Amino acid sequence: MTHPTKIPAQAWPLFDRYVHGDLSRRGFLDQAARFAGGPAGAAALLAALSPDFASAQQIKPDDPRLVTRRQAFESPQGNGQVQGYLVKPAGAAGKLPAVLVVHENRGLNPHIEDVARRLALAGYVVFAPDALAPLGGYPGDEDKARELFGKLDPAKARADIVAGARGLFSLPDSTAKVGVVGFCWGGSLSNHVATQVPELAVAVPFYGAAPALEEVPRIKARLLLHYAGNDERVNAGWPPYEAALKAAGVRYEQFTYAGTQHGFHNDTTPRYDPASAQLAWERTLAVFKASLT
């Protein structure tokens, strides 16, 4: 993928606020113009920071090694049904362990579908739900997706993701050994799913906010937690979360990747850190293998 090699340091926290809905597009451009050489420079900076799905794609949607389909599970506590993308190895003999892949706060975009395919090639049946399905699904535009995300009922959206995890236990393709991995909002939901689904074997949140601390004693899954080094907003929640995990006797490993930005695993933007992303992914695959197979 092609990105400028140097992003101004001031841009990272500004972009983080923009991505998470705390700053409008206009607000980003106005503030960035102060250090990016004016409005044109700010627009170019935002374009450089925005996802490039096509060049980052690792596995094509029609890869013959995989079988994909749309999948839905009942979600009575959520929006009635959770819908998403299911992928598994082609010609798999028998049932496979299952993994739920939870997207960032933009819905089921092409990057997350690609991540689901990567996991499927590692030997799993993978379900990637789309929290935006009740509003028509991922709209194909990141700004529109963020706007739609703000219109979701948060409690129902969380319930839909939990329903997706629970659905994998009864899926005919599944061995009923289930794990979850998520990124940003999906990282937060990975933590939340661990508090809600006691049968869950393993949860791997990438830079996700902690769950409600009073619910931490309900976690029975093994946890592998990945944090970015430069991510004050999320990292501030780690010390009390760690204290709660220790008090509850939860089995966990936690890694902070020095010098990285929130979103360092997402290889569609300049926040991507190849070395840290590869190490975090290798650790993720290892803990899934140990916990699910």
Task: Indicate the domain borders of the chain.
Answer: 11-49, 56-292
pLDDT at 5: 43
Average pLDDT over residues 190-201: 98
**Residue whose tokens read 């290892």:** 286
Average pLDDT over residues 1-28: 74
* pLDDT surpassing 60 at residue 109: yes
pLDDT at 56: 79
210 in Cβ contact with 201 (< 8 Å): no
Structure confidence by residue, pLDDT tens digits, 62-96: 999 999 999 999 999 999 999 999 999 998 889 99
In terms of Cβ atoms closer than 10 Å to its own Cβ (0-12, 13-18, 19+), residue 110 is: middle
Share of the chain above pLDDT 70, in %: 98
- Tell me the CATH class for 56-292: alpha beta
pLDDT at 149: 92
Rounded to whole angstroms, what are the CA distances from 79 to 75, 150, 153, 157, 179?
Answer: 6, 16, 9, 7, 23
142 in Cβ contact with 222 (< 8 Å): no
> Can you tell me the distance from the alpha carbon of 229 to that of 287, in angstroms, rounded to the nearest whole number?
22
pLDDT at 3: 45
Residue among 58, 65, 111 nearest 88 (CA): 65
pTM, rounded to two decimals = 0.91
192 in Cβ contact with 210 (< 8 Å): no
* Lowest mean per-residue pLDDT among 143-147, 169-173, 177-181, 225-229: 143-147
260 in Cβ contact with 230 (< 8 Å): yes
